[in-house]
Amino acid sequence: MRIEQLTLRELHMNLVAPFQTSMETTTVRRILLTEVAVDGVVGWGECVAGETPSYSPETADTAWHILRDHLWPLLKGKQFAAASEVWDLVASVRGHNMAKGGLEAAVWDAEARQRNISLAKLIGGVREEIASGVSVGIKASLEELVQAVKAELEAGYQRIKIKNQTGLRLGTGSPAAQRILIHQTDGRR
């Protein structure tokens, strides 16, 4: 395998509702996509770095720089047998795992396409479907949080991650509040 080309693309996605964490509120997600041409086959990946360094030191801007100026020069024109070798080929760059992951994912996608098998099968997956989850941002009241969780459960999500904030008076971390939340969402977790 040889990566012939790397193309970076940035998308801006307006969120349906503002997403609040303990550090910031996001209304537009910047998404950095990686597109690679490997032996004539295109593969896609996504770098999950956020807009600001509040969650992680990596951002969409730092990832773009690392991908363009450091990771791509390490891989350009190199021969390797499989996508599983990419991580080792970029190991000399310390940190920046989100940038590396976006690039590696694109190469895995290209390899799966070359072999005409699903990416899941290529990486050893055995299930046809997996449970999907969603993250619910900080809400102003317990009632608003319960409504948000109910809406996500009704949408089919099976796993709910609830953001919380030190000093927030909802008390969603207490056992009593968790029982209320579970009860008000018909016992679904």
**Residue from 75, 73, 69 nearest 87 by CA:** 75
Alpha-carbon torsion (38, 92, 33, 47), positive or negative: positive
Q: What is the pTM for the complete model shown? A: 0.82
> What are the tens digits of pLDDT across the range 90-118?
999 999 999 999 999 999 999 999 999 99
> What are the tens digits of pLDDT across the range 7-40?
999 999 999 888 888 888 999 999 999 999 999 9
Q: Are the C-beta atoms of 1 and 81 separated by less than 8 Å?
A: yes
HSE-CB at 127 with a 13 A cutoff on CA atoms is 3
Question: Alpha helices of 119-163 — where are they, by DSSP H?
Answer: 119-122, 142-154
Q: Are the C-beta atoms of 103 and 34 separated by less than 8 Å?
A: yes
Predicted confidence band at 121 (pLDDT cuts at 50, 70, 90)? very high
